[in-house]
Amino acid sequence: MDGSIGILPFPLAGEGTRARPRVDHKNSDEAALVRRVQARDEMAFREIVERYQSKVFSIIYGILRNRNDAEDIAQQVFAKVYFSLKNFDFRSSLLTWIYKITVNECYDYLRKKRVRKLVYESDFSQEDAQRMEASEPAIDGAVPADTRLAQRDLILKLLSKVSEEERTLILMKEVEGHSVEELAGMTGLNENTIKVKLFRTRQKLLKAAGRLTRIR
Amino acid sequence: MHREIRDHIENVLAGSEPEHLAGCEECCSEVQGMQEHTALLRELRAPESFVAEPRAGFYARVMERIESEGPISIWNLFIESAFGRRIAVASMALAILLGVYLVTSERSADDPMIAGQQAQQQPLVVVGEDGPARVIMQMDQSPAGQSSEDAVLADLVTYREQ
């Protein structure tokens, strides 16, 4: 089932930015669904799982690149959603909230497996191993797979140095490709606040990278 | 980074090139670093070839997990988070230290051998108000203040006379 974000009522890019009314997350279809889950309607929870499972799955796979781990963590994400949904306060969209839980679960997983192990062969997925074998030497100017793995390792490490909120915002901006206006609608924050938060996050990433280079 | 760039950083990273950037080395270097990170972040996108569909029966497996896990308790905070675990370990270490201290201090108070040795090692010198100085060898001192039976009183004057 399609769990893409297209189903959410995002404001269209290109509209006036400052005067745009805030998205009312309390009175959307999504909110009605959440209220049904809060009233212990299991069918409503099933609808949430089916609506967002693809999205959650692809977020996890994007970060970890391992299908088996993605399935396991996706289960954990929805178990957390189930237990925490009673505390959902409708300040942001449900997708933003689930996105944050998903990224946190990925980081929990990485912490448990020690982030550095990502570049060890034992932690490679089959897809990674195949790509690595096929990548020597890089002929078409593309970055070799082992370099890309090291780069992914680096950016994941840098992202662990910023707060959960900052990490979620920058990933939604750069990985999911949402605009500042869309992020404002999804999070319930002002556009300028989003811009400031993104800028601070980028600066923190730069500083963390600088520290890492000095250590190395 | 200067305000000219900072205020429009999202546009700059999206490709616009303000004049300021050409003349400012500091801004140029920071923007370059941010562009590199942006490119790395985009590597975290799942590849287009990836079929983002879990195996059939995903919902059933989620429900199984929910049933096996039960609601999240306050103890999970201590077990699951690294900070929580550190607090738990530190508290246990403190409790063990406190326990060891209490046991050893009580034992030394109860043990007559240890108490006697302590008393022998520490004779009290009392300077009398209207007489010569006296040394009291205190062997044991009961809580009721019955020290007369156990204490040896030596009158220095008498001792000298002998």
Higher pLDDT, A10 or A37: A37
Nearest by CB to A198, from B10, B61, B65: name it: B10
Minimum distance, in Å, between the CA of residue A77 and any CA atom of chain B? 9
Q: Can you give the pLDDT at residue A24?
A: 72
Structure tokens at A105: 């679960």
Q: Can you give the pLDDT at residue B71?
A: 62
**Segment (H or E) for A42:** helix A42-64
- Rounded to 5 degrees, what angle do the CA atoms A108, A111, A112 make? 85
CB A59 within 8 Å of CB A99: yes
Question: Are B100 and B119 within one domain?
Answer: no
**Segment (H or E) for B151:** strand B151-155
Digits of tens for pLDDT over chain B (162 positions)?
Answer: 788 788 888 888 888 887 888 888 888 889 999 999 999 999 888 888 877 788 889 999 999 999 988 765 666 666 666 677 788 889 999 999 999 998 888 776 666 666 566 555 555 555 555 655 555 555 555 554 445 555 555 555 555 555
Has domain A23-112 been given CATH number 1.10.1740.10? yes
Helices marked H in B15-155: 19-23, 25-42, 58-69, 74-80, 82-110, 112-121
Q: Are A195 and B10 in contact (CB < 8 Å)?
A: yes
Does residue B59 sit within a domain?
no
Q: Taking all residues of chain A, what is their mean pLDDT, rounded to a whole number?
A: 79
pLDDT of A8 strictly over 60: no
Does residue B65 sit within a domain?
no
Split into its structural domains, chain B has a count of: 3
Q: Can you give the pLDDT at residue B120?
A: 59
User: What is the C-alpha separation between B44 and A58, in angstroms, rounded?
Assistant: 10
User: What is the C-alpha separation between A132 and A65, in angstroms, rounded?
Assistant: 13
Cβ contacts (< 8 Å) between B61 and chain A: which residues? 75
When pLDDT is cut at 50, 70 and 90, the band that residue A49 belongs to is very high
Residues in chain B: 162
Q: Are B65 and A79 in contact (CB < 8 Å)?
A: yes
Place of tokens 């692809």: A58
Does residue B50 sit within a domain?
no
pLDDT of A47 strictly over 90: yes
CB A10 within 8 Å of CB A176: no
User: What is the C-alpha separation between A175 and A159, in angstroms, rounded?
Assistant: 13
Q: Can you give the pLDDT at residue B118?
A: 59
Higher pLDDT, A75 or A128: A75
Tell me what ipTM this predicted complex has.
Answer: 0.72
List the single residue in A with minimal CA-CA distance to B80: A108
The mean per-residue pLDDT over the stretch A5-29 comes to: 52
pLDDT in tens, A109-148: 988 876 455 444 445 555 655 555 554 454 455 666 677 7
- Window 32-51 of A: residues touching B by CB (8 A cutoff) are 46, 49-50
CB A200 within 8 Å of CB A163: no
User: What is the C-alpha separation between B31 and B148, in angstroms, rounded?
Assistant: 89
The mean per-residue pLDDT over the stretch A81-96 comes to: 89
Question: Are B77 and B102 within one domain?
Answer: yes
CA-based max dimension of chain B: 111
Does residue B53 sit within a domain?
no
Q: Are B37 and A63 in contact (CB < 8 Å)?
A: no
CB A123 within 8 Å of CB A113: yes
**pTM (2 d.p.):** 0.64
pLDDT of A15 strictly over 50: no
Q: Are B62 and A75 in contact (CB < 8 Å)?
A: yes
The mean per-residue pLDDT over the stretch A23-46 comes to: 86
Higher pLDDT, A182 or A6: A182
Count CB-CB contacts under 10 A for residue A21: 7
Does residue B52 sit within a domain?
no
The mean per-residue pLDDT over the stretch A60-71 comes to: 89
Q: Can you give the pLDDT at residue A147?
A: 79
Place of tokens 């900070």: B83
Q: Can you give the pLDDT at residue A19?
A: 46
CB A151 within 8 Å of CB B43: yes
Does residue B35 sit within a domain?
yes
Phi and psi, residue B137, nearest 5°? -95, 105
CB A167 within 8 Å of CB A159: yes
Q: Are B9 and A195 in contact (CB < 8 Å)?
A: yes
Cβ contacts (< 8 Å) between B45 and chain A: which residues? 62, 175
Q: Can you give the pLDDT at residue B6?
A: 83
Cβ contacts (< 8 Å) between A156 and chain B: which residues? 44
SS3 content of chain A, % helix, strand, coil (to 5): 70, 0, 30
Nearest by CB to A71, from B44, B55, B66: name it: B55
Nearest by CB to A152, from B43, B53, B55: name it: B43
CB A57 within 8 Å of CB B52: yes
Q: Say which amino acid occupies B68.
A: S
DSSP state of B125: E
According to DSSP, the β-strands at B151-155 and B134-138 are: antiparallel
Query: What phi-psi label fits residue B16: left (phi over 0), alpha (psi between -120 and 50 degrees) or beta?
Result: beta
Percent of chain A with pLDDT over 90: 44
CATH level 3 topology of A161-216: Arc Repressor Mutant, subunit A (1.10.10)
Domain boundaries, chain A: 23-112, 161-216
Q: Can you give the pLDDT at residue A212?
A: 81
Phi and psi, residue B93, nearest 5°? -60, -40
The domain in which residue B97 lies consists of 73-110
Does residue B144 sit within a domain?
yes
Structure tokens at B54: 């879990």
